A and B are shown apart, each in its own frame.
Chain A
Amino acid sequence: MSDGIPEFAIVGHPNEGKSAVVSTLAEDDTVRVTPYPGETLVCQTFPVVIDGKEVIRFIDTPGFQNPKRTLKWIKGYRGDPAHILSAYLETHAKDPDFRDDCRLLEPIAGGAGIIYVVDGSRPVRNVDLAEMEVLRLTGRPRMAVINCKEDETAYIETWKSEFRKHFNAIRVFNANQATYAERIELLENLKVIDQDWGPALERVISAFKEDWQQRNGMSAQLICDLLETSLSYSITRSFTETTSEKSLKERLQKEYASAIEQIEEKAHRKIRKLFKHNIFNYSLPIHSVLNENLFSRKTWQFLGLTPVQLIAAAGMAGGAVGAVLDLAAAGLTFGIFTSLGGLLGAGWAALGGGKRLARMKVVGLNLGGEQIQIGPIENIQFAYVLLDRALIFYAHVINWAHGRRDYPAQEHPDKGPAKAGLTFEWDDRKRKICQAFYTAARGRDDPRKTSARKALMEMLQEVLLDISSSETRYGVVAQK
């Protein structure tokens, strides 16, 4: 630590979630995981760089290979306590058996703080006590992190009581919580263990917060763009007598659906890029609503509509597309078909406190031929669906502990589906903003558009921050 930058060595057994902690702190997926002890070749270093300057550093270390012998040596040391670690390193430098132990203690000898990670769902053992004692005798500031890989909670108290004897701070790492929140809390804990590092850590924390806000802002923007584009999207096609209307209807519907899907996917990809993901997999938790087809039955049903409503919506789409033949002269059929469509959807109750009928507006232009235009969808429910999906995606993207290889996937198929559909729970204020945006996006009044968008963006940022700090798992659909 000759350059005055605070360093933290992260110590723990392989396969106990140490890499989850490291990747949370460093926001880096490249932490290498190997279950075979003694096979780490290099100590990976993760610097935190703000404005081009390194502010703090995290060092991933290999596990202890000889804790009891190390402890014995340290206890038997009779020299100057200030040089205990450098004496140890000197004595054991040539011994291949102690290679990993030396690698582990090197940064600590150089002044690094210690973050000790254990799996709290398994019992405390003599080996662990030896390791803790070694770390305590180094005299460096040290924090213990309890990571629970399984649901067993019987041992946590024992761990905590042992930790209180050996460490300056304890934290129970919560892999369910979003990475952002968890990281902030870990860093706040670290501030406690040594006063000298307070300022540096504070800088890091505020830098992280700012950075996160920025990313949230960009995500909110992307979501707004997504909504705008989708809400105003339409396809126009001309048709002649020979083309069957029915098949054209179907084709257009498919095209429309796939176009919307593509727009959505693009937006999601951009959001994902904001959060440095290498390992994060495209394949989201299997039962997430995102894997369902947007226009498929399940999605609609899932997101709060009853089957009847679904039929109505389907009928709506079909009816709207079918309400085509627009004879400029007469304008009679126009009215009939749209009202038919409207009747079909008459029983359909809109969500969010308002009762609206959805209509697919069809506009036809004709000069010697006929045309069909599909969209834009005049159904705010659609906007909510898109919003839900985007927010669920965001919630998955920002939490990496689940994506770690050494973290078992927490599948609970027998429990009911977790909370899904965030927009379900929104209050009136939020809905008003959405409504305003929805109307503005489809209109042509530019000042209105701008202000509505601004309001939505602010609201979304709030929402995203909420998600970042919460613990809920979103978007799980139970399979029948």
Chain B
Amino acid sequence: MSIRLVAMADGTDGTMGMKQAIWSMKDLIDLEYFLQQDENEQGESAQAALAKRDREIYLNKIRPLEKKNQALTPGRVIRSWLEERRTSEERSAASLKAPLPGEAFADIYRLMGYGFLIVGVLSGSGLAFSLLNYRGTEPLNVSVYLTALVLSQCLALLLLLAIRFIRRMRGSPFRGSVVFTWISGLMTRLIVRMKEGPLKGLEGSQRGSLEAVTGLIRGKRQVYGSLFYWPVFILSQVFGIGFNVGALTATLLKVIGSDIAFGWQSTIQFSAQAVFRMVQTIALPWSWWVPADVAYPSLSQIKGSHMVLKDGIYHMATQDLASWWPFLCLAVLTYGLAPRVMLLVMGLVFQKGSLSRVNLGHAACVRLLHRLTTPIVATQGALPQTSGAGIERGDTIQTPEASVRDQGDAMCRTPIIALIPDDIFETCPDNDLENVVFKALGCAIREKMRFGQDLKGDEEVLQKLAIIRKEGLVEGLLLVQEAWQPPIRENLSFIQDLRTASGDRTMIWVGLIGRPRQGAVFTRATEEDVRVWQQKLKALGDPYLGAERLAADNE
């Protein structure tokens, strides 16, 4: 059951000013925040209240947005839901002026961008100024300048590329990056501070949601992959750009405003010719568009600026001594500023690309969609909305189940594979199973598999799933489990094996049932048992794993 977002070709859709379907960072953060808030509601009555609220949002705000004959994609649905939650949260927290995490993130990000830029400029210019401190007794050593400002940056660049390459080989591109950890940690601390400030003492659920958000920014949510690495990357490039701009500006200012002499020196007796060749090589990138006499010092100028300390500088020609500065500036520009600008642009492009490819298929999103699109059936009186909507659309009067299917319920298009324990396989009537699964998950069953008889049988199930996956078709799994059995290591290992066999993003549902009663298999599990299972499953840390209660209608 994976849901892919479709990026809209044009940004507008002409109805009620809805924004583009492409997610921004801010949106993802807010989404995670709200999803986590809802996940924290554990009890059954709380779940029912959530379902009611979301269904109302869907019916009142989202459904009207549908154009004729074109159902909304799941991504758009979730986006609209997010907008709605935002407005209602703002309304309720209006007096407290506490920003949502997404907004807080955006603000902090912008501030950090400026901050990094300023710090970069200051440090670059500071370094340049200190390097260009000329007293008149001896010329400034060109190699010092080059090492400090150009070579160091080249090395940093090479290091970055090398690390990225190694990590990519190893398969985990962004874990363990020191810069990432540090900057993301800073960001999260600031966000939490911003949110906590006006609200003394967060409620438990809000605190939990904030934790989720910080986990998200720190790259801990494997759902989003490396998405949150890019903002940090961009920030470091901004710093680099600031640094280079600062250094360049400082150098130019110094050159324009004060008298500086440059020279080169070495214990090794290089000939001027050798140095000239070195300089030419370094100046290669810009020598083809800058006139030669500016691009780098000529041979005579190099000869003239060769420093031997014991001889002093009195005898050296000013023109030779001053001839180095364009070369140095251009070196900083080419080897410092230009790569950083390129990396910045690259970062922005990749970030945008990542955002457009965001795949919201994990458990919390699927649950949300299910809550939004499943009609709430009340047993007193006629079924609300569904039959009304059916008639509106010009359909013939259908049974509720059929009309649910028709309402663009995107989730139902891919039936799931049900894994039934050997203990109840024989006594489990297909009809009941289908009904119960449809009620809980809104989808049909495409295949039943038996497991739990012995280890060999389980192996075969896993192999079968791996084969199905090779053909690219494991959309979702349901593992029926008697909740009163304790979740032991073997159960959890089997679930982990299922994950390996069926792919990283396949939804796996654990359907919890209670003790069999008078022949009925799908009874209600006790709250305590459900709680134990939920806790153990949560500890596996798999966002595409969820627990659902399976119970027949009369339970």
Once the chains are docked, how many angstroms separate the CA of A37 from the CA of B484? 12
Interface string of B406-446 (1 = CB under 8 A from A): 00000000000000011100000000000000000000000
Asked whether B453 lies within 8 Å of A126 as measured between CB atoms, the reply is yes
Q: Is the CB of B486 within 8 A of A37?
A: yes
Mask, A44-82, CB within 8 Å of B = 1, is 000000000000000000011111110010000000000
Q: Which residues of the partner chain B approach A67 to less than 8 Å between Cβ atoms?
A: 488, 490
Asked if B515 is at the interface (CB within 8 A of a chain A CB), the reply is yes
A68: chain B residues within 8 A (beta carbon): 454-455, 490
Selected contact of A123 from candidates B455, B488, B493, B516, CB within 8 Å: B516
- B486 with A126: CB separation less than 8 A: no
Q: A64-B488, A65-B488 are in contact. Are A36 and B423 (CB under 8 A)?
A: no
Known interface pairs A68-B455, A122-B484; A38-B489 also in contact (CB < 8 Å): yes
Indicate which residue in A66, A127, A152 contacts B485 across the interface (CB closer than 8 Å).
A127
Known contacts: A63-B486, A64-B488, A72-B455. The answer to whether A36 contacts B536 by CB under 8 A is: yes
Residue B452 at the chain A interface, CB threshold 8 Å: yes
- Judge whether A125 is part of the interface by a CB distance below 8 angstroms: yes
Instruction: Tell me if B528 is interfacial: C-beta within 8 Å of chain A.
Output: yes
B452 touches A126 (CB 8 A): yes
Q: Residue-by-residue, is A92-133 near B (CB-CB < 8 Å gives 1, otherwise 0)?
A: 000001101000000000000000000000110111000000
B489 near A126 (CB under 8 angstroms)? no
Interchain CB contact under 8 A, A125 and B485:
yes
Q: Is A14 in contact with B493, judged by CB distance below 8 angstroms? A: no
Contacts of A439 in B (CB 8 A): none
Smallest beta-carbon distance A20→chain B, Å: 17
**A174 interfacial contact with B, CB 8 Å:** no
Taking a contact as CB atoms under 8 Å apart, the answer to whether B455 and A66 are in contact is no
| Interchain CB contact under 8 A, B536 and A97 | no
> B493–A37 contact, CB under 8 A?
no
Q: Which of B472-530 contact A (CB under 8 A)?
A: 482, 484-490, 493, 515-516, 528
**How distant is A38 from chain B, measured CB to nearest CB, in Å?**
6
Whether the Cβ atoms of B423 and A123 lie closer than 8 Å is: yes
CB pair A37–B515 under 8 Å, yes or no, is: no
Contact across chains for B486 and A69 when beta carbons are under 8 A apart:
no
Nearest B residue (CB) for A123: B516
Minimal beta-carbon separation of A66 from chain B (angstroms): 5
CB-CB under 8 A from A304, the residues of chain B are none
Chain A neighbourhood of B484, CB < 8 A:
122
How far apart are A413's CB and chain B's nearest CB, in angstroms? 20
Number of A-B residue pairs having CB atoms within 8 Å of each other in the complex? 55
Instruction: Say whether B532 faces chain A, with CB atoms less than 8 Å apart.
Output: yes
The A contact surface, by secondary structure, is loop
> When the two chains form their complex, are residues B488 and A63 in contact, meaning their CB atoms are under 8 A apart?
yes
Contact of A125 among B423, B455, B489, B528 (CB under 8 A): B423
Asked if residues B490 and A37 are in contact (CB atoms below 8 Å), the reply is no
- How far is it, in angstroms, between the C-alpha of A133 and the C-alpha of B447 when the chains are bound? 32
B452–A66 contact, CB under 8 A?
A: no
Query: Are the C-beta atoms of B489 and A97 separated by less than 8 Å?
Result: yes
B87 at the interface (CB under 8 A from A): no
Residue B273 is within 8 A (CB to CB) of chain A in the complex: no
- A127–B515 Cα distance when bound, in Å, is 15
Give the residue name and chain of the B residue nearest to A72 (CB): B455
Interface 1/0s, chain B 514-555, versus A by CB < 8 A? 011000000000001000100110000000000000000000
Contact B490 A66 (CB under 8 A): yes
Chain A interface residue bracket vs B: 20 to 34
The closest CB in chain B to the CB of A127 belongs to B485
- In the complex, residue of chain A having the shortest beta-carbon distance to the beta carbon of B535: A36
Q: Nearest Cβ distance between residue A457 and chain B, in whole angstroms?
A: 46
User: Does A396 make an interface contact (CB < 8 A)?
Assistant: no
B536 CB to closest chain A CB (Å) equals 7
Q: Do the beta carbons of A122 and B515 come within 8 Å of each other?
A: yes
What residues on A are CB-neighbors of B485 within 8 Å? 13, 125, 127
Cβ B535 vs Cβ A66 within 8 A = no
Would B422 and A37 count as touching, CB distance under 8 A?
Answer: no
- CB-nearest residue of chain A to B422: A126
- Which among A13, A66, A152 is the interface contact of B486 at CB below 8 angstroms? A13
Is A35's CB within 8 Å of the partner chain B? Answer: yes
Quote the shortest CB–CB distance from B491 to chain A (angstroms): 9
Q: Which residue of A lies closest to B482 (CB)?
A: A125
Is A379 close to B, CB under 8 A? no
A300 CA to B528 CA, complexed, in Å: 42
Decide if A339 is an interface residue (CB 8 Å cutoff): no
| The residue from A35, A63, A97, A123 contacting B528, defined by CB atoms under 8 A apart | A35
Given known pairs A97-B493, A123-B516, the reply for A69 and B455 (CB within 8 Å) is yes
Q: A123-B423, A125-B423 are in contact. Are A65 and B490 (CB under 8 A)?
A: yes
The answer for the CA separation of A69 and B454 in the assembled complex, in Å, is 9
| List of B residues within 8 angstroms of A72 by Cβ | 455
Contacts A36-B532, A36-B535, A122-B515: A69 and B490 contacting too (C-beta < 8 A)? Answer: yes
A15 at the interface (CB under 8 A from B): yes
The distance from the CB of B525 to the nearest CB of chain A, in whole angstroms, is: 12
A112 to B482, CA, bound (A): 32
The complex places the Cα of A122 from the Cα of B488 at a distance, in Å, of 18
B335 CB → nearest A CB, Å: 51
A72 to B453: give the CA distance in the assembly, Å: 13
Residues of B within 8 A of A37 (CB): 486-488, 536
Q: Is the CB of A66 within 8 A of B488?
A: yes
Q: Which residues of A121-180 are within 8 A (CB) of B? A: 122-123, 125-127, 152
Cβ–Cβ < 8 Å partners of B486 in chain A: 13-15, 35, 37, 63
> Shortest distance in angstroms between A154's beta carbon and chain B's nearest beta carbon?
9
A123 CA / B424 CA spacing, docked (Å): 10
Residue of B with least CB distance to A65: B489
Residues of chain A lying within 8 A (CB to CB) of residue B516: 123
CB-defined contacts of A13 to chain B, threshold 8 Å: 485-486
A217 CA to B205 CA, complexed, in Å? 57
Q: How far apart sit A14 and B485, CA to CA, in the bound complex (Å)?
A: 9
B65-102 interface (Cβ within 8 A of A): none
Interface residues of A in 1-42 (CB under 8 A from B): 13-15, 35-38
Contacts of A127 in B (CB 8 A): 485, 488
Task: Report the minimal beta-carbon distance from A11 to chain B, rounded to whole angstroms.
Answer: 13
Near A by CB (< 8 A), chain B positions 168-194 give none
Select from chain B the residue with minimum beta-carbon distance to A154.
Answer: B518
Within B455-472, which residues are at the interface with A (CB < 8 Å)?
A: 455
**Closest CB in chain B relative to A92 CB, distance in Å:** 12
| Residues of chain A contacted by B453 (CB below 8 angstroms) | 126
* Chain A contacts for B490, CB-based, 8 A: 65-69
Residue from the set B489, B516, B532 with the largest chain A CB neighbour count within 10 Å: B489
Query: B residues within 8 A CB of A123?
Result: 423, 515-516
With both beta carbons as reference points, the residue of chain A lying nearest to B494 in the complex is identified as A68
* Bound Cα distance A13, B488 (Å): 10
**What separation, in Å, do the CA atoms of A68 and B491 have in the docked complex?**
11
A263-322 contacts to B, CB under 8 A, are none
The residue on B at minimum CB distance from A101 is B489
Check if A66 sits within 8 Å of B423, measured CB to CB: no
**CA separation between A15 and B531, bound complex, in Å?**
14
Residues of A within 8 A of B455 (CB): 68-69, 72
5 tightest A-B CB contacts, nearest first = A65-B489, A37-B486, A65-B488, A125-B423, A66-B490
24 contacts between A and B (CB under 8 A): A13-B485, A13-B486, A14-B486, A15-B486, A35-B532, A36-B532, A36-B536, A37-B488, A37-B536, A38-B489, A63-B488, A65-B489, A66-B493, A68-B490, A97-B493, A100-B489, A122-B484, A125-B482, A126-B421, A126-B422, A126-B423, A126-B452, A127-B485, A127-B488
Known contacts A65-B489, A67-B488, A127-B485; 17 additional CB pairs below 8 A are A35-B486, A35-B528, A36-B536, A37-B488, A38-B488, A63-B488, A65-B488, A97-B489, A98-B489, A122-B515, A123-B423, A125-B485, A126-B421, A126-B422, A126-B453, A126-B454, A127-B488
